[in-house]
Amino acid sequence: MVTVNILLAIICFAGTCHKALVGQDTPVGTFQLQHMSTNQPGYGGDVLVFHQTKDYAWAIHRVWLLDPAQHRDTRIKSSNPEIRHITMGCINVTPKVYDDLISCCSASTLKVVK
């Protein structure tokens, strides 16, 4: 199981926790992760979708860096969880954390809590 704590802006799996970027609109609940390809710029070619509607998909993905003014590369390193609340609802992690997550848990259940 993969767990994300919105308040603390962390993601935990395989016995370790890592800093993450989250949003106030990140859906809370239990979801099944789905590994999917994407051709959208900035996502690295694939994402772990955890919730979808007709118009939007929420996913765990590599830190999206296409808007330098958001300073996401700096924010994800911050020890202050409030600084890491920036996304539109997706969960952003470093490329290393994303690779580790794919290796162990790409078909896992995700629990998102506040």
Cβ atoms of 2 and 108 within 8 Å: the answer is: yes
Which stretches in the chain have pLDDT values below 70?
Answer: none
Among residues of the chain, what percentage have pLDDT more than 90?
98
Residue 66 confidence (pLDDT): 97
This prediction has a pTM of 0.96
Question: CA 103, 105, 107, 110: dihedral to nearest 10 degrees?
Answer: -150
Helix (H, G, I), strand (E, B) or coil at 10: strand
Distance CA 50, CA 61 (A): 11
